[in-house]
Amino acid sequence: MSRLSLACASLLCLLAAGCTTAPKEAEAECQVNAHCPGDQVCRAGTCGPPGCGDAGLCAGGQVCIAGECRATGDQCRGDDDCPGGRCVEGECFANNCQEGDTRPCTTQCGDGVERCRQGVWLQCSAQPVLEVCGDDRDNDCDTQVDEQCGGCADGEQRPCMTECGEGREQCAGGQWRGCTAQRVRDEACGTGVDEDCDGIIDEGCDDCEEGSTRPCSTACGDGNETCEGNTWRSCDALQPADELCDGRDNDCDGRTDEEVNRSCATQCGAGTETCEGGSWAGCTAPEDCPCGGEDVDSQVCGQCGVRQRTCEGGRWSEWSACDESQVECTPGEAEESRCGACGTDRRVCTAECRWGEWQGCKGEKTCVPDAVESEDCPGGCGQRTRTCQATCEWAEWSQCGGGMGDGCGIGETETRPCGGCGMQTRTCGPECSWGEWGACEEAGECTPGEEQGEACGGACAARVRQCTDQCTWGAWGECMGGGQCETGQNETRACGFCGTQQRVCDATCVWSEWTACEGEGECAAGDVQQAGCGSNVGACEPGTRQRTCSGACQWNDFGECLGGVQPRAEVCGDGVDQDCDGADETRPDQYEGPRGNDTCGTCFVLAEEDPNVFLNATIDNRDDADFYCFDAVDNTSIPGFGEHIRVMLEDIPNGADFDLFLYRSVADCNANRPAASSTNTGSDDESIDWVEAINVEDGGRWVVRVKRYQGSDCARQYRLTINGLR
């Protein structure tokens, strides 16, 4: 017995109430199939449902064994192979719970709920999360609040993280606070967002009756939600949001404008300000310092505005009116973008009216559109493929192609009618070819309508009986003079595959038995045979070809290959092998070099120090990223006359979105700690104007990165201008 059979037997025993044998349903007595109802067949004198040997082939990935369809090999392929259980890495396991069930649980963080998902209990909802500085909460449930959040200088910034992704926080009043990463919240049904950041979207929200309603609640209050499309959605309770500087308790934690701060730096130094009563106040940045030439100073003001001042006679002028017309977004606004395998990436507008960091791809499905997966057919009978659809779900497997013989899978069976009421079977053998048709089973005693006679009484007297529709002989008729035929008479009839058989009227005027069928061909006229064909390389998929049996019971030649995916024009750099030559086309530009320039450590080195150059290059495939580096020399800095590094990315191909990053060193590049970045949407130009700080050494090797966000183009070039430290 195979490992799968043992596992399934154990599973069925666990699911039953003990391992007693369930009583069989009453079955009608029969002799031939015709004695049974239309959806049953006769086996060993009893009627029952047809097995795969009676009704045709099994589904893809299964073979017919002892009349039952079973998964190929020793492993299960999916939950359908494990009745009442689940398939995990080829093994059948009993379910621990029913989908959608819940039960209470307790952790060091308090009381919560466990939910059943795919037969197993998920972790308790009351889980510790990463500590968030400045929110006055014990997020990680270690009895300490905001630990490791002090000891910083006002205005400093550093990366921060929650279970939902990355962000940045800054120092205000000697404490780190205001992390811009998405916060972990209770899951809300039907939003398509993973609010609790556990990698599962809308858990506990399915399996409801269409149109029904139920109460729902959030941290902000109670409401009701409705079942739509078998999923709970549209809870009308107020949803918690990230805290903003608006005098409201946005996250519904009983506090207003907590941990909300922003940078308010000037040319004179760094500083922060905090939110009080819905307004920004208390900027700590210095405002009085020398300036020179035509220097211009900018500072954040109002809700998300900017004010400016100019240098006049070596001193700063008064600030201009606050201009709030140049904001990127509205605080709290969310933006989503498709990513990966039909997943969603999300970013939220910060208190400074600037977009926060993308939080990482969530809610992905099983595959990326146009991806191709192949596997060997049972017994080494070629290969079959499947392609990922636009919904990021796999299509059905293609037929086997490129194998030996007829392209059938070893162990598959095929049936056809025979005789009056019988069936015969053939099985796919070791060389992927159909074996001979087996004997005609349960064919009955005769062919319906056939007549049989025997002598009786005097010379040429005979009685006759006929074969019924159930392939059994009827009762003998009366003994009649004249016999069944004239002595010496011959009769011929067709049989089998274009064969013939004969019988002769004997001296008693009764027909003899029919002779054996002679002169048969290789198939039944009109039969159709299919076989695999085509290629399974790249995006191509095998198809099928067929041939028909002629009126002379001989196979005609196979026709053309149909139903597969044939080679087509290659699209450069999209990661798909459309022309099925075994590789996706790419066209590296002149800066790639032998090792490429796709990493921080293999950046293309610009020859001169602090260069003033432009170059044209391409992002030629989905995995391409371009890194360039140059050596900077830090000259003497004079307050108000700081040196700049300016980088401009232009001519981004239409439909593409490239971003621009500047790093102080290769090490910072490897750690993804940019000194500056530009991440506009779409094909808009990107630009960086980095200004050095006074009395800070800024020399060394700097790295510029052009990062693909979406799109690529082998032919159309972008233009990159780099002005070094000047």
Q: Which residue has the higher pLDDT, 571 or 658?
A: 658
Q: Which of 51-55, 156-160, 330-334, 338-342 has the lowest mean pLDDT?
A: 51-55
Q: Which of 412, 520, 350 is nearest to 65 (CA)?
A: 412
Q: What is the CA radius of gyration of the chain?
A: 40
In the prediction, which pLDDT does 55 show? 35
Spatial separation of the C-alpha atoms in residues 96 and 99, rounded to whole Å:
10
Distances from the Cα of 659 to the Cα of 626, 647, 656, 668, 685, angstroms: 11, 12, 10, 17, 9
Secondary structure in 3-state letters for 22-61: CCCCCCCECCCHHHCCCCCEEECCEEECCCHHHHCCCCCC
Q: Which residue has the higher pLDDT, 438 or 2?
A: 438
Q: Which of 571, 583, 567 is nearest to 712 (CA)?
A: 571
Between CA 311 and CA 316, with CA 315 as vertex, the angle to 5 degrees is 55
Binned at pLDDT 50, 70 and 90, residue 668 comes out as very high
Spatial separation of the C-alpha atoms in residues 250 and 240, rounded to whole Å:
6
What percentage of the chain has pLDDT greater than the value 70?
Answer: 86
Region 92-107 average pLDDT: 81
In the prediction, which pLDDT does 51 show? 53
Q: How do residues 191-209 score in pLDDT, each as one tens digit?
A: 777 777 877 777 777 767 8
Q: Which of 30-34, 503-507, 519-523 has the lowest mean pLDDT?
A: 30-34
| 478 φ, ψ (degrees, to nearest 5) | -70, 155
Q: How do residues 473-493 score in pLDDT, each as one tens digit?
A: 889 888 888 788 888 899 998
In the prediction, which pLDDT does 54 show? 39
Q: Which of 6-20, 209-223, 305-319, 404-418 has the lowest mean pLDDT?
A: 6-20
Region 443-463 average pLDDT: 82
Q: Which of 44-48, 336-340, 354-358, 564-568 has the lowest mean pLDDT?
A: 44-48
Spatial separation of the C-alpha atoms in residues 414 and 288, rounded to whole Å:
92
Mean pLDDT of the chain, nearest integer: 81
In the prediction, which pLDDT does 701 show? 93
Q: Does residue 18 surpass a pLDDT of 50?
A: no
* Side chain identity, residue 646: R
In the prediction, which pLDDT does 77 show? 64
Q: Does residue 25 surpass a pLDDT of 80?
A: no
Region 701-705 average pLDDT: 95
In the prediction, which pLDDT does 10 show? 38
Contact (CB, 8 A) for 687 and 660 = yes
Secondary structure in 3-state letters for 134-194: CCCCCCCCCCCCCCCCECCCCCCEEEEEECCEEEEEEEECCEEECCCCCCCCCCCCCCCCC
Total-model pTM: 0.36
Q: Does residue 604 surpass a pLDDT of 90?
A: yes
Q: Does residue 85 surpass a pLDDT of 80?
A: no
In the prediction, which pLDDT does 185 show? 79
Q: Does residue 239 surpass a pLDDT of 60?
A: yes
Q: Does residue 602 surpass a pLDDT of 90?
A: yes
Spatial separation of the C-alpha atoms in residues 127 and 185, rounded to whole Å:
12
Task: Name the token pair of 551.
Answer: 């009126």
Contacts 24+ apart (CB under 8 A), 267-273: 267/291, 267/295, 267/297, 267/316, 267/640, 268/297, 269/155, 270/154, 270/155, 270/156, 271/154, 271/155, 272/154, 272/155, 272/170, 272/171, 272/172, 273/172
Region 426-437 average pLDDT: 80
Binned at pLDDT 50, 70 and 90, residue 536 comes out as confident
